[in-house]
A and B are shown apart, each in its own frame.
Chain A
Amino acid sequence: VSDTVYLDNAATTAVDPRVVAEIIECLGPDGDFANPSSVGHEPGRRARARVEQARAEVAALVGADPSQVIFTSGATEADNLAILGAARFYASRGRHVVTSRTEHPAVLDACRQLEREGFEVTYLKPGADGIVEPAQVEAALRSDTILVSLMHVNNEIGVAQDVGAVGALCRSRGVLFHVDAAQSAGKLPIDVGGDCIDLLALTAHKVHGPKGVGALCMRREPRLGLVPLLHGGGQERGLRSGTVPTHQVVGLGAAFRIAALEMAGDAARIAALRERLWLGLSTLPGVMLNGHPTWRVPGILSIAVDGVEGESLLYALPGLAVSSGSACASTHSEPSYVLRALGRSDRLAQSTLRLSLGRFNTAAEVDYAITAITAAVTRLRAVAPGHDA
């Protein structure tokens, strides 16, 4: 049992007990544990039915048809399958891809792999507010552009891109549009049809589902081609070989079903908690919001705290589970490339805190965080050179 207040829901979330209950139904000897591809017997057909129910639940959250959903091990695999799979399939049409500098490594590293294969990639620089303007995307499109990849919500700062506008632009130019929705699914409305999204990467564990499962939602009309990354049993229409993990997929479906039902209420409550947090912390001098003030997901608050060193700030908050603005390793830390791309100095990037709220956070926890951060910042500033007190 931990006394730590968990404000790192953008990293991962606790699994909702209702989701846990449905997962457990698929694990034991009396449960729906069978291989869903084994439709020659009744347990297999039961497992298959649960998988297809989950597929429908995933599709429903994003306005898709169940036939568009391919289960994966998470958003990283879905991003890789979308980017590498589409680029390789359509390489004869062109070898240019557009993305942004603030994408998740799952996208950036896939793009770097494409560069090693001879593709060209344009990395757009967002504005200081973290937003990539559709006009920037339009200016980057070329006759040989085959794919645009843009995340819906940034995992570090929480800003939301106008994927509908970019999607419409891409559709009008005949360019495929991939969206990493790991941080937005279940938190902001997504409509793959209305937003003209051809490839949508999803994950369960950011929305109170289990780790290790996600999905790629891909356009079916007109049919879209992908070169698979995995080869084997031909599951998931040959695009993702490997035994479909029934319990994981059922957990994904349950998490998405609950998110769809409770999105409006959760979003309003979590946004109010985030505002309470920001109002409490913004009274501290030298505290700055990272990213656009209103185009953002409800749960993520990223702040740069001037006058304190980032590692010491995190160290001084043992009762809070939060993330820093550094890509921390055990012995070193580098300033966040996302914050650097927004024009933040290395020092401010190092002294950034990401506080991310979820379904189970309370106002009391937010108040505790405000008190703890205020005390830590005040103490560290008091021993820093140049402090005027």
Chain B
Amino acid sequence: VTTDDPRYGVDVRRRVASLRGAGTLGPAPDVASGRAGDREQGAEVVLTCRVVEQRVADVRFLAFGCPHLLAAASWLTDRLRGAGREELLAWDWREAADALDVPPAKFGRLLTLQDAVRDLARNWPGPPASTV
């Protein structure tokens, strides 16, 4: 996919072109999943991650939504690598908005991503690191 549409920044275009991190990790004891959004509302995200020694070792995303959401989900699969559960719980959508220069009209879509990250933390495999 290549486009010169000025509504989409360079990083969004690059991410959508590759969709790096797309897919899902199969069920396993060390794999967690987080889900948020509703296709009828135009944004739905599913994240799966493999946890090794209480850190995210690998992340995959599935997403239904606008190019900004797809790009942010792809970006997130790099961003979350190495993160612990507490970091996931504290992650804020504004980080993706800043990194990808997402316009304000699309901020609501990124909230879906934040909800999916927090759901991922809630489903963290094994005993919780601390009380939620």
Which A residues form the contact surface with B (CB < 8 A)?
307-309, 311-312, 315-316, 318, 330-332, 345-347, 350, 376, 379, 382-387
Cβ-defined contact, B42 with A309, below 8 A:
yes
Cβ-defined contact, B39 with A318, below 8 A:
no
Q: Majority SS of interface residues in chain B?
A: mixed
Which of A331, A350, A385 lies in contact with B63, CB distance below 8 A? A385
Cβ-defined contact, B39 with A312, below 8 A:
no
Known: A315-B67, A384-B64, A387-B62. 16 other contacts (CB 8 A): A307-B64, A308-B64, A309-B42, A311-B66, A311-B67, A315-B8, A316-B1, A316-B16, A318-B3, A318-B4, A347-B40, A350-B42, A383-B19, A383-B62, A384-B44, A385-B46
B118 within 8 A of A: no
Contacts of A385 in B (CB 8 A): 35, 39, 44-46, 62-64
Cβ-defined contact, A315 with B16, below 8 A:
yes
Q: Majority SS of interface residues in chain A?
A: loop
Contacts of A332 in B (CB 8 A): 105
In the A-B complex, the 10 residue pairs with the closest CB atoms: A331-B105, A318-B3, A383-B22, A384-B64, A311-B66, A385-B62, A385-B46, A315-B67, A385-B44, A316-B1
Contacts of B67 in A (CB 8 A): 311-312, 315
Cβ-defined contact, A312 with B40, below 8 A:
no
Cβ-defined contact, A383 with B8, below 8 A:
no
Cβ-defined contact, A309 with B62, below 8 A:
no
Contacts of B40 in A (CB 8 A): 345-347
Residue in chain A with minimal CB distance to B43: A309
Residue in chain A with minimal CB distance to B66: A311
Return B36 CB to nearest CB of chain A, in Å.
Answer: 10
Return B106 CB to nearest CB of chain A, in Å.
Answer: 8
Which B residues form the contact surface with A (CB < 8 A)?
1-5, 7-8, 16, 19, 22-23, 35, 39-40, 42, 44-46, 61-67, 70, 103-105
Total contacts A to B, CB within 8 angstroms? 63
Contacts of B42 in A (CB 8 A): 309, 347, 350
Contacts of A345 in B (CB 8 A): 40
Distance, CA A384 to CA B37, complexed state (A): 12
Distance, CA A332 to CA B66, complexed state (A): 11
List, sorted by A's number, 30 A–B pairs whose CB atoms are closer than 8 Å: A308-B64, A309-B64, A309-B66, A311-B67, A312-B16, A312-B66, A312-B70, A315-B1, A315-B5, A315-B8, A318-B1, A318-B2, A318-B3, A318-B5, A331-B103, A331-B105, A332-B105, A346-B40, A347-B40, A347-B42, A383-B19, A383-B61, A384-B63, A384-B64, A385-B35, A385-B44, A385-B46, A385-B63, A386-B39, A386-B62
Residue in chain A with minimal CB distance to B46: A385
Return B43 CB to nearest CB of chain A, in Å.
Answer: 8
Distance, CA A316 to CA B104, complexed state (A): 22
Which of B2, B7, B63, B66 lies in contact with A383, CB distance below 8 A? B63
Contacts of B22 in A (CB 8 A): 382-383
Distance, CA A384 to CA B23, complexed state (A): 9
Contacts of B8 in A (CB 8 A): 315
Return A129 CB to nearest CB of chain B, in Å.
Answer: 24
Return B40 CB to nearest CB of chain A, in Å.
Answer: 5
Residue in chain A with minimal CB distance to B106: A331
Return A211 CB to nearest CB of chain B, in Å.
Answer: 23
Cβ-defined contact, A312 with B65, below 8 A:
yes
Distance, CA A331 to CA B3, complexed state (A): 17
Contacts of B19 in A (CB 8 A): 379, 383
Contacts of A316 in B (CB 8 A): 1, 16
Residue in chain A with minimal CB distance to B12: A315
Distance, CA A347 to CA B64, complexed state (A): 11
Which of B1, B62, B66, B104 lies in contact with A384, CB distance below 8 A? B62
Return A340 CB to nearest CB of chain B, in Å.
Answer: 14
Residue in chain B with minimal CB distance to A350: B42
Cβ-defined contact, B65 with A309, below 8 A:
yes
Contacts of B70 in A (CB 8 A): 312, 383
Contacts of B45 in A (CB 8 A): 385
Return A328 CB to nearest CB of chain B, in Å.
Answer: 10
Among B4, B16, B23, B42, max chain A CB count under 10 A is at B42
